[in-house]
Chains A and B, each alone.
Chain A
Amino acid sequence: MKLAPIACLLLPLVPVAGVAEGTRTLEAHEHGSGTLNIAFEGNTIAMEIEAPGADIVGFEHAATTDEDRKSIEDAVSELARPMELFVLSADAGCSVVSASVEVHGDEEEEHHDDEHEHDAKDEHGDEDHNDHAEHEGEGIEHSEFHAEYELTCSDPAAVDKIEFAYFERFPNALELDVQIVSAKGAQAHEVERDEPVLDLRGMF
């Protein structure tokens, strides 16, 4: 896989509050790759996107400078406008009912071990190397952007494709794993930067 060198896999994230002693779970975290879920029900389309901070703003450390804070703010406001990132066919007559964007960030503090850190470094491409090197003493951080949208469409069946302007806006994003559920069942697609269009014919 061409993504392998820049993939930064399986790093720790989000210890769930209140169960700190019993449960330790690690969620997969792959730079360059996000997930987009789309559900069609009646005239409503629900979408949610989850993408690593590396894809959206290019860094995952806590915002320390004004510049960092500004790029996060910019990204959040862009993510709050789904119609500009995921362009649906105009015939469908869709409009946004609600959009919410969250940034989850966390720092791995307690359960940090050396082995982990080495793994992370080995799997890393050069461009991320420095970024992480400077944090070596304080643990590896990861952040995720999570956005949820609800759209309403006058004719959702007219949505025959989605164009992913998302990739133009976020140059670090390489692919999105898309899951779609409609009356016809569930489907998965992988949309890549090279071909940022998703054909939805056959979903209705």
Chain B
Amino acid sequence: MTLTRLALASLKSRWLTVGLTIFAVAMSVALYLGVEKLRTGARDSFTDTISGTDLIVGARSGSVQLLLYSVFRIGNATNNITWDSYRDIANRPEVSWAVPMSLGDSHRQFRVMGTTEAYFDRYKYRGDRSLEFAGGDRMNDLFDAVVGADVAAQLGYSVGDPIVVAHGLASFSEHADTPFRISGILAKTGTPVDRTVIVSLTAIEAIHVDWKSGAQKPGAPTSVDVIRSMNLQPKAITAIMLGAESRLKIFSLQRAINEYPQEPLLAVLPGVALQELWSIVGIAEVALIGVSAMVVVTALLGMAAMLLASLNARRREMAILRAIGAGPMTVVGLLLIEALLMAAVGAALGVGFLYLGLIVAQPILDARFGLFVPISGLSGREAATLIAVVCAAAAVSLLPAIRAYRISLADGMMVKM
């Protein structure tokens, strides 16, 4: 008890250096915990990109590739799915709902997706959230388009604006003869939907009426009125989102699709494919954790250096302690208690900084990056980290502690002027 009081008093007398050391520990702990929270938040946001869909179906390729092009709109499908196969699958008794998706066109740097109205009802993210409109409404005309939040923000669109969809992904040939009108703008979701232009499946057919093998047919373009009167049944789509009647049927449905004899198709469980993808992307996690752990170690080493450096200034203090009969363990103990106190206060402050930072940053992260970091209590892992920091502080302060004892012994023996 006396020792703790002594330690406190000694720390207080050196409040500036001690304060800075505690601040360094606090910042490093806050950084480490912040990275940990961001990391789990990023992973959860990532796995929450799509939910409520039991299976995603595409041409037979890899599950990660299928997920990338169908959900993240990255890369391209190896093949399309014929409309007949889509009908076959959608009509299976195990299937409760099916949403076709047709990808491959673009608007500026954003992908255009053709789908049915059911997409707005069936696409769920972050648990059970549905797409919401920030303005306007779903497509109700052939040439209506709904744009994601990022599309609207970056290109400065508002409801009612005309847009032109380009053929292919990076082509100069624009479907200028069939302009679209923005019927609705979606609210920010933090998912790839933000960067997507959504049109109806028939609209995708409509813009390709005059396009054969990648080039516009010579002659006058088919007039919009003629296009409207045409049968715009798509012949192929890119991917299908499926919901099963019952979870118990998912696996047999998956197998049936994977073994579908008429066309090589692949059905994946989105959760499983996301997990597979994260195991590739997630390596960055390890790097982040490594860096922030190094920061904590640096702060602790700094504390040890500070203790060590202060020993010189505290020669007299130590000598007096020794003179009044403090044993070696007492001196070592005093230094250890000082280190533990600093680390504990630093850790506690760090947690304070973390939550302060989270409260400030949470809405910004969510709105800007679609990264939702929940403000939750410390996980067992995080609490264990804090305890480890305090223990590590004790360990690194052993060196100055032992040195303090040695010096105090030598100082005590020396006759000084």
Contacts and interface: CB of A to CB of B under 8 A. Distances in A.
Contacts of A136: none
A85 B260 CA distance: 31
A187 B270 CA distance: 9
B271 A186 contact: yes
Contacts of B261: 16, 18-19, 23, 25
A186 B251 contact: no
A39 B264 contact: no
Interface string B136-169: 0000000000000000000000000000000000
Given A16-B259, A16-B261, A19-B261, A185 B247 contact: no
B51 A185 contact: yes
Nearest to B276: A188
A102 interface: no
A98 to B, nearest CB: 12
B229 interface: no
A166 interface: no
Interface in B277-334: none
B248 interface: yes
Contacts of B252: 48
A48 B259 CA distance: 16
Nearest to B270: A186
Contacts of B270: 185-186
A97 B246 CA distance: 17
A44 interface: yes
Contacts, number: 53
A46 B261 CA distance: 25
Contact of A48 (B54, B251, B272): B251
A40 interface: yes
Contact of A41 (B47, B246, B271): B246
Given A19-B261, A25-B264, A188 B248 contact: no
B250 A181 contact: yes
Contacts of B11: none
Interface in A30-49: 37, 39-41, 44, 46, 48
Nearest to A186: B271
A39 B187 CA distance: 34
Interface of A: 16, 18-19, 23, 25, 37, 39-41, 44, 46, 48, 150, 179, 181-183, 185-188
Given A23-B262, A181-B250, A185-B271, 6 more contacts: A39-B247, A46-B251, A186-B250, A186-B269, A186-B270, A187-B271
22 contacts: A18-B261, A19-B261, A23-B261, A25-B261, A25-B264, A37-B251, A39-B247, A39-B251, A41-B247, A41-B248, A150-B248, A181-B247, A181-B250, A181-B269, A183-B247, A185-B51, A186-B270, A187-B271, A188-B269, A188-B272, A188-B275, A188-B276
